[in-house]
Amino acid sequence: MTTTTARIESRGLFKRLFQRTPSKLAIIIITLLWLIPTLGLLISSFRNPNLVKTSGWWTVLPHLFDKAEWTLANYRDVLSSQGFGNSFLNSLAVSIPATVIPITVAAFAAYAFAWMDFKGRQWLFVAVVGLMVVPLQMALIPILSLYSRGGHFMGITIFPDLKLNGTYMAVWLAHTGFGLPLAVYLLRNYIGSLPSSTIESAKIDGANHFTIFWRLIIPLSVPALASFTIFQFLWVWNDFLVALVFLGGTQEVRVITQALAELNGTRGEAWHLLTSGAFITMVLPLAVFFSLQRYFVRGLTAGSVKG
């Protein structure tokens, strides 16, 4: 560590600036490009509904401090609309288990696919990952009928009728099914790339697979688990279709995206409500991202192997 610091310090200030500037410039350009569309959304969400439809959002830039341009009414409208708090709770009750369940199930499976020996391991893995292409829309109707009528084959009940429709459980399981292939794929790649020496030495010390998994693999896989947690949470949080099909659209059970769509449906082309609503629903996913961000730490693997 000290050698690198010394080397960096030994370079001239001018040279350092010259080397750093292009990469910083590239970062700034890419970030701006990515930001511009969202900026349009953000500005529009604070503008007068009529202005949004009659002039471009960038026209406010010259007179940013003109009070006539801005309004908080859009946000007030969205937040005060019926049952918004209720659907926020529903979204949480759907999203948190629908994130934790698939990741747990996938982590166990990924460990087995990477480090355990059993018959059909490779082909089962191909099958699991191949299922990534089954489009979600394709699966909705067959599963809905499984939920409401159970599964029967030649008079034998294979899948009992659990009256799952309209329950949180129905949505959790559906999201787990749709999220699993990618989760298994990503986690198996990460867990499989952990140093085999670590696992072998734990085995020699007499640890069984369950202990190795909990005490060794899970702590070592934190960066991969954290990144997948973010994505799964986002998908579930922003999902509209799965919740609509399995939970139903009544005010009692609807999730936040449904509440927003409802707002749009009853109020015509209410772009001002959708823009502000879109920002409100973004707050929680971004909070999740920021709080998990710190788990992407350099050298996590290297450090624990040495320890």
Residues 193-232 that bind other proteins (CB under 8 A): 193, 196, 208-210, 213, 223-224, 226-227, 230-231
The reply to whether 302 sits near other proteins by the rule CB under 8 A is yes
Judged by CB under 8 A, how many residues of this single chain contact other proteins?
Answer: 129
- 75 counts as binding other proteins under rule CB under 8 A: no
Residue in 37, 136, 108, 95 with CA at minimum distance from that of residue 230: 95
Should residue 260 be labelled a site residue for other proteins when binding is judged by CB under 8 A? yes
Question: Does residue 79 belong to the site contacting other proteins (CB under 8 A)?
Answer: no
Q: Does 246 bind other proteins (CB under 8 A)?
A: no
* Residue span binding other proteins (CB under 8 A) among the ranges 62-70, 71-79, 173-181, 243-251: 173-181
Q: Does 131 bind other proteins (CB under 8 A)?
A: yes
Q: How far is the CB of 223 from other proteins (least distance, A)?
A: 4
CB of 298 to other proteins, least distance (A): 5
Rg value, the chain, Cα = 25
Among 190, 304, 274, 286, smallest CA distance to 237 is for: 286
Residue 240 lies near other proteins (rule: CB under 8 A): yes
Question: Contact with other proteins (CB under 8 A): which of 67, 117, 204, 205?
Answer: 117
Q: Looking at 78, 112, 236, 259, which residue binds other proteins (CB under 8 A)? A: 112
Tokens for 42, please give them: 């953000």
* Position 55 contacts other proteins (CB under 8 A): yes
Q: Which of 61, 79, 89, 157 binds other proteins (CB under 8 A)?
A: 89
- Look at the block and give the residue holding tokens 């030495």: 201
Q: Using the minimum distance from each CB to other proteins, give the nearer residue, 219 or 296.
A: 296
The residue from 49, 75, 78, 97 that contacts other proteins (CB under 8 A) is 97
Q: Which member of 11, 16, 19, 21 binds other proteins (CB under 8 A)?
A: 19
Question: Hey, what amino acid is at 209?
Answer: H
Question: If DSSP states are collapsed to H, E and C, what string results for the chain?
Answer: CHHHHHHHHHCCHHHHHHHHHHHHHHHHHHHHHHHHHHHHHHHHHCECHHHHHHCCHHHHHHHCCCHHHECCHHHHHHHHCCCHHHHHHHHHHHHHHHHHHHHHHHHHHHHHHHHCCCCCHHHHHHHHHHHHHCCHHHHHHHHHHHHHHCEEECCEEEECCCCCCCCHHHHHHHHHHHHHHHHHHHHHHHHHCCCHHHHHHHHHCCCCHHHHHHHHHHHHCHHHHHHHHHHHHHHHHHCCHHHHHHHCCCCCCCCHHHHHHHHHHHCCCCHHHHHHHHHHHHHHHHHHHHHHHCCCCCCHHHHHHHC
Decide whether 73 or 144 has the Cβ nearer to other proteins: 144
Under the criterion CB under 8 A, does residue 18 sit at the interface with other proteins?
A: no
Return phi, psi of residue 169, to 5°.
-55, -40
Q: How far is the CB of 44 from other proteins (least distance, A)?
A: 7
Does position 291 bind other proteins by CB under 8 A? no
Residue 246, token pair as written in the block:
């399995």
User: Contact with other proteins (CB under 8 A): which of 48, 148, 198, 238?
Assistant: 238
Find the binder of other proteins among 118, 155, 156, 268 (CB under 8 A).
118
Interface stretch with other proteins, choices 9-17, 66-74, 243-251, 259-267 (CB under 8 A):
259-267
- For residue 150, state whether it binds other proteins (rule: CB under 8 A): no
